[in-house]
Amino acid sequence: MTDTAADMLLGVSGLSAGYLGEDVVHDIELTVGVGEAVAVIGSNGAGKSTMLKSICGLMSPSTGSVRFDGNEIAGTKAHMVVRAGVVYVPAERHLFPQMAVQENLFLGAYPSRPDAERLELVYDTFPRLKERARQHAGTLSGGEQQMLAVGRALMSSPKLLVLDEPTTGLSPILAQEAYAAMAELRKGGLTVLVAEQQVPLALELADRAYVLDHGRITLSGTSDELAADPAVRQAYLGI
Ligand SMILES: Nc1ncnc2c1ncn2[C@@H]1O[C@H](COP(=O)(O)OP(=O)(O)OP(=O)(O)O)[C@@H](O)[C@H]1O
Ligand SMILES: [Mg+2]
């Protein structure tokens, strides 16, 4: 489904990355096909954020290749990676708290001018943001801030949306709502790579998933395969 060159959007190969000369993720092999949702599941400190950041140009991998849409992007500056169509939404969200919701959305389109149709799509996906368009981002609830972080990423019309633990700080119900919104976006054709500790939600959304354990991919398969895997069930699903 994904490993043919024609429909592969992201291809990560032999990627290692870390801090102060010491790798914390090792020899990552991962692909995302056009229109797919792919999850990376792993517990605290497994290396999920390090892996995503080194894919998205927020840090340079020490070795390895990141091919996106036919081009090598490993080690490319973050703004160039955004321009290529990869948008990373950090777990911490990094909104501009003193700016209005709509201004935060407009910044997501930068350096392009915000597109009215795009804004409508974001507001259709998250009607709450439209209601609160003039409110300062810093005064939004946790769930609303999560919507804004995703909405802002969508303003640049990404080819690949990369979400780092989008359920961070959310109650179980809000976490479910966040994933329901992502499922809707998927129906619209969006390609998604998501890192998550909330494994049931991630496996429900994703077509395929990878298990990251102590910086290494230890298992991969369809979400159904992983949900049925005894090791995954014991380690991540508490069964
Ligand atoms: N800036 C940094 N400098 C040094 N070590 C770091 C830095 N950031 C992360 N690490 C280390 O790298 C390892 C992987 O961290 P990473 O944040 O990638 O894990 P994670 O899977 O995203 O965890 P979490 O689910 O808690 O977000 C950890 O041991 C962490 O302490
Ligand atoms: Mg993390």
Domains along the chain with CATH numbers: 5-236 (3.40.50.300)
Closest residue by CA, ligand 1 atom 29: 45
Closest residue by CA, ligand 1 atom 9: 50
Q: How far is the CA of 49 from the centre of ligand 2 (A)?
A: 4
Strand partners, 201: none
Q: Which atom of ligand 1 is nearest to the CA of 212?
A: 21
Q: How far is the CA of 145 from the centre of ligand 1 (A)?
A: 23
The answer to whether 101 and 132 have CB atoms below 8 angstroms apart is yes
Give the C-alpha separation, 13 to 219, whole Å: 15
**Residues 169-227 pLDDT 10s:** 999 999 999 999 999 999 999 999 999 999 999 999 999 999 999 999 999 999 999 99
Closest CA to 170 of 64, 63, 93: 93
What does pLDDT average to over the chain?
A: 94
Q: How far is the CA of 164 from the centre of ligand 2 (A)?
A: 7
DSSP letters spanning the chain: ---SGGGEEEEEEEEEEEETTEEEEEEEEEEEETT-EEEEE--TTSSHHHHHHHHTTSS--SEEEEEETTEE-TT--HHHHHHHTEEEE-TT----TTSBHHHHHHHHHTTSPPPHHHHHHHHHH-HHHHHTTTSBGGGS-HHHHHHHHHHHHHTT--SEEEEE-TTTT--HHHHHHHHHHHHHHHHTT-EEEEEES-HHHHHHH-SEEEEEETTEEEEEEEHHHHHH-HHHHHHHS--
**Residues 22-35 pLDDT 10s:** 999 999 999 999 99
pLDDT of residue 6: 57
- Ligand (nearest to CA of 50): 1
Q: How far is the CA of 47 from the centre of ligand 1 (A)?
A: 6
pLDDT of residue 238: 80
In terms of DSSP bridges, do strands 208-213 and 216-222 run parallel, antiparallel, or are they unpaired? Answer: antiparallel
pLDDT of residue 2: 43
Question: Looking at per-residue confidence, does 194 or 1 come out higher?
Answer: 194
Largest CA distance in the chain: 49
Pocket of ligand 1 (CB under 6 A): 19, 24, 42, 44-50, 165, 197
- Contacts of residue 28, Cβ cutoff 8 Å, sequence gap at least 6: 12, 14, 15, 16, 51, 64, 217
Percent of the chain with pLDDT over 90: 92
Is the model's pLDDT at 99 over the cut of 80?
Answer: yes
Closest residue by CA, ligand 1 atom 18: 47
**Residues 21-73 pLDDT 10s:** 999 999 999 999 999 999 999 999 999 999 999 999 999 999 999 999 999 99
In terms of DSSP bridges, do strands 208-213 and 22-33 run parallel, antiparallel, or are they unpaired? Answer: unpaired
Q: How far is the CA of 18 from the centre of ligand 2 (A)?
A: 13
Identify which of 24, 44, 216 to mutate to test ligand 1's pocket (most ligand atoms within 8 A of the CB): 24
Is the model's pLDDT at 5 over the cut of 70?
Answer: no
Question: Looking at per-residue confidence, does 83 or 4 come out higher?
Answer: 83
Is the model's pLDDT at 4 over the cut of 80?
Answer: no
- Ligand (nearest to CA of 42): 1
Is the model's pLDDT at 1 over the cut of 50?
Answer: no
Q: Which atom of ligand 1 is nearest to the CA of 51?
A: 18
